[in-house]
Every structure is written in structure tokens, then in C-alpha cells.
Structure 1
């Protein structure tokens, strides 16, 4: 997993509207990139809604919030519409960007080990350098927790 002080990897992925979003679009702007396992599951919905609920505070500070999972564009569109999400959701079905951030790893469920998306968040400064890493995210209230990293209260 990437660490604080690392440079954010470049990416170009489709969003929930099918538009290709490139990391270069955010050059010189602070950014939150968070990785989550799957659209419309309880934990992922809580996490996305926690960013939605403080979205105005991010916008006021000029911070863009991007969620990335391996779900399809259509799944993201439905998830965003159903939950009234203003954040950008990017589809990474090949998990290339997920791997580049180090957000793919070993997980355990019901006694079985498998490779999956690690719920993690990266607060990226306007210089493209990762300011803070949240490696083991608790979904509820996470949007507010990440916002504090930009206020120096983490």
C-alpha cells in the first residue's frame, strides 16, 4: 500500500457517466481517493453516504472526492443515483489503479482467504503527494474523518 509522502499514481478510468476521468485533471488540486469493495453493499453504502453528507465542506475547500471499485459503470451510475451521490465513482474492472495504490490484498471471510479490495483512503495534496493514508477504514463517518486530514486535525 502506498504511504504518506508517495506520489499519487496516474490513472484514466470511466466514471459513473461513462466519461474518462484522468488524474491529470486534478493537477494542483487536493483530492481524496478512496477504494471500496462493492457498490450497494451495507458498508460501502455507509462510506459513500458519509462523503455525501459532508460533500459541501469538501467542495468549499476545493477538494474532489473519488471512489474507486471494480464495479461496472452501470453499477456506479445506479449506486450514485440511488444514494444521491455527488462524488465521482470510477470503474476499475481490471484493478490496475487499485493495485497501483496497493489497495488489493488478502482478505478473510467465513474462514476463507481471498484477494480483494482493501477498504482504504488516500488524502492527496495539491502537489500530488499523499498526505495521509487511512488503511483500515470504518465506513460510518469516514467522510468527516478524512476531511480533518485536510484541516490538520487528523
Structure 2
């Protein structure tokens, strides 16, 4: 803000009664903070092989800010062992591209490309896509259950 503009704003601000100053200040802070606030979501997620053998199921705790998303996963493999990892990605044109890092099961180079299903009615709920880790392809289904 230039010095002249700042001086004019300061002068105009002094003319506003104190209760309105508080209201104006609160509105400005809320407007500036609004875009920075991330939406927190819980997704129920399943990972399964292409022959529909269950690989893991659990939750993703997702933070969405604009078209970016990140979070942590707490999954349980079909053998009962817990699988955890972090993820980070983006949403572009309805397509989710998400990199999964630090997987406790040792899988490396994991990237999930998901989208809303193409079906009708209830089949359009949730997300579906392929997860590739070290050349192995898994199907991932996600349902957003909490916001």
C-alpha cells in the first residue's frame, strides 16, 4: 500500500466508531484468512488388486486447500498389518493425481489417478482410480464420509 493510500485509509478509518472499527477489522481478517483455511475431510479407502483381491482398507485424513490436497493414511492390509503413509497431490478438471510417500509396507513410487465414477445414480458417488507402485497396478476406491 502506498503512503498516500495508507494515510487516506487511516484517516477514513478514524472516522468510524470503535464498534464498527472492530467489525471492519474482523471482516478484513476473515476475508484475508478465508482462502488459507483448508477443508478437512475423512475418506474411506480400499486398495485392491486388478483381480479384486483386497489389498488394504482404512481411512485417509485429507486436507483440501483450493486444488491441492494432502494428508495421512491409516490402512489395514488383508494380513491384518497396519499400513501408513503420507500423500500430496492436486485436483485438475475432476482428476485427482496423488503421490503416496513413506509407505510402511515398503512400496515405492506410488501415484494414484482418481476421478468420479462414470456410472449413473449411486455409482457416481465417491472416487475410483488406479494406483501404480513400482509397476504394480491397484484399484483404489474412496468415499468421502466426513467434512
Q: Give the TM-score band, short-chain normalised.
A: under 0.3
Greater length-normalized contact order (CA 8 Å, ≥ 6 residues apart)? 1
More strand, by proportion: 2
Tell me the TM-score normalised to structure 1 length: 0.24
Greater CA radius of gyration, 1 or 2? 2
Q: TM-score, normalised by structure 2?
A: 0.25
